[in-house]
Structure 1
């Protein structure tokens, strides 16, 4: 276990080698074939900071000395940086409301998390975040405003919730290798919170007509590609619900959206190609620590999508990279009243890992290696369980 701290460096070296050679899972094979303009998109699951992860940020800040107001989330999330930072466009999903640097912070049911997470999101390589979720209105309009102000200060773009009506009508369009790419973001609802009076535009509520209108505004503003981030489905269910499946088909058949990226279930859900449009039903959690970890809630996936222009149309080639949050033993756990013994090989800190790359590091205890292999195989099975393999879905980095 003493070599664990070398993992980020090993991962960064592997990613750098791939970028220099232009081959391997992150290589730009489409450009080499002269198929026209091409770019890559990485999209990952929910970022949701529970109290244990905030405590980890305090612990890491003491070690690194790099924290702001005693918090550093860099070590927690560093394991995915080699993939996220390599994409031409990287999209995160920020589920909770952001508060003040020194708190107070809150967990479920009304989240408010440290603003220091925004600089970590930027440092990982994320360009933009979807902010429409069922927790968008946990602290009303002021919570929305503070969240967006914080992302702006960190240099992270955002869409889905808004400070003004004009903002809500202004498409988020980014130049990605010369291609104008728009992101739109919608959520199914906001728990028991009402939309603030006089501010019906503060956050996007899912509706096919509204989605079509948002796409139309983006296209009118020059968008060549439109990506939809959508908060939907049923929590803790690896299979998409019937309403998800039905709505995915409506989106594929009644809009021109090029890619759908789903969130909210807190567990990985499949990908599926519907009438030519790739739907990622749910990317699980990127980072979270639920009160009762199930194994599934610690697993997530980075969707990796290569867009290639052919004959004036955009083709999407999908890949997936499994991730997992390592959880230390609970110090209060007991076995028939006796404290549970902690072994030398047990995880000491919360850490987000790129599963395939961690397995390739070669310095893992047997128990951890077996657990990571299980996470990879379980995620792969879920990804492919609606027949996406026949349409070309594969792991980004194969299982060693």
Structure 2
């Protein structure tokens, strides 16, 4: 049984323009490269960092995002099953935007964790059942909502970093039948390769409880190490999966997809055994042969890349490799190409 996690889906205005068609938007080509890796997993987890706008807009980027609903069609086409939604941008478009985001994701068959549209929904554990009947519980929390208040009277709608609540929610997921429980934290300092004290503190607290089988994270927009904390795999940050961030920050183009393989023991308990990661790279419209930005799964794209692109892919992979492996965790391996 395996799960796949990857970087932030940070839908910037430059991506809106790249996906624009005569009839609206088509974001599917931007994520198409990652489909083979996602298809290998039983559960493919994405991080929908920003809210979705009303159909037809208006759309906006930083500091308060509103992305086209057509981005969800790309999420589905890529092969994702579950999206975490707790982020510092969860309430960028207020209560209506947060509720709309959940409704659109659910309408397209994508399960969510981290934000809730009703109190009853928040009270229920976030569970996903694989085709083989394995039940995965998710607990997703964010360090901040960018000083935008969570709607008064609906403080339950966004889960903020709280190890005690995370542990309590994990226990509730177990009681509801979860075989595996995953903690997701949207936390850290942007544009750094090392987890900060908040990330390390949360990882230490939740793994020490024994209630979580895996910890994953986003927000820094740069990749960070994969490590083991209290004998539990912690994927601190997988960078960006898709984004078009301004400025000269090469780290925002680099990302990682991570597949964690779980083994079932004789008593029916599951434990994470091995982790396979793959570097990803986000092109720019000006240097991509297609003329638009997209994410490329590096090991699967190298062979067919032209020399200039291949050079950039190899450089990105080398940068990511140095960071990802710095945690020195045994059982970590790198994907070398499509197995399909």
Taking structure 2 as the reference length, what is the TM-score of the superposition? 0.95
The 10-residue stretch of structure 1 (311-320 or 229-238) with the greater mean CA deviation from structure 2: 311-320
5+ residue gaps, structure 2, are: none
Partner of 2:251: 296
| 2:332 is the counterpart of 1:377 | no
Runs of 4+ residues over 4 Å off in structure 1: none
1:281 CA drift (Å): 0.3
Which of 39, 42, 48 in structure 1 is aligned with 2:4? 42
CA drift at 1:347: 6.3
Contact 1:304 1:396 in 2 (8 A): no
Gap runs ≥5 in structure 1? 1-38, 63-68, 330-341
The question of whether the paired residues in 1 share the 8 Å contact of 2:223 and 2:256 is answered with: yes
Answer with 123-132 or 293-302: which moved more: 293-302
> In structure 2, what is the equivalent of residue 358 of structure 1?
301
Shift of 1:373: 0.6
What is aligned with 1:214? 169
Matched, 1:230 2:169: no
Report the secondary structure of 1:158's partner residue.
Answer: strand
- Residue 310 of structure 1 and its aligned partner are, at CA, apart by 2.2
Tell me the secondary structure at the aligned position of residue 201 of structure 1. helix
d(CA) in 1 for partners of 2:185, 2:303: 33
Q: Which one of 119, 136, 146 corresponds to residue 90 of structure 2?
A: 136
SS of 2:270 mapped into structure 1: strand
Check the 8 A contact 2:171/2:211 in 1, yes or no. no
TM-score between the two structures when normalised by the length of structure 1: 0.81
Do the aligned residues in 1 keep the contact of 2:6 with 2:238 (CA within 8 Å)? Answer: yes
Corresponding residue number in structure 1 for 2:37: 83
How many angstroms does 1:252 deviate by?
1.2
Query: In 2, distance between residues paired with 1:78 and 1:277?
Result: 31
- Is the 1:239–1:269 contact (alpha carbons within 8 Å) kept by the matching residues of 2? yes
2:270 match: 314
1:189 has 2:144 as partner? yes
Query: SS where residue 115 of structure 1 aligns?
Result: coil
SS of the aligned residue for 1:321 comes to strand
2:262–2:271 Cα contact (<8 Å) kept: yes
Alignment of 1:255-270 (within 5 A): 255-270=210-225
Say if 2:256 and 2:280, in contact at 8 Å, map to a contact too. yes
The alignment's C-alpha RMSD in Å is 1.6
Equivalent in 325, 349, 356 of residue 292 of structure 2: 349
Q: Bigger radius of gyration, 1 or 2?
A: 1
SS of the counterpart of 2:300? helix
Distance in 1 between residues matched to 2:145 and 2:197, nearest whole Å:
21
Decide which of 65, 90, 110 is 1:111's aligned counterpart.
65
- The 2-side partners of 1:128 and 1:293 are apart by 32
Q: How does 1:173-184 map to 2 (within 5 A)?
A: 173-176=127-130, 177-184=132-139
Q: Name the counterpart of 2:103.
A: 149
Separation (CA, whole Å) in 2 of partners of 1:77 and 1:173: 25
Name which of structure 1's ranges 374-383 and 313-322 shifts more when overlaid on structure 2: 313-322
How far apart, in 2, do the equivalents of 1:293 and 1:202 lie? 35
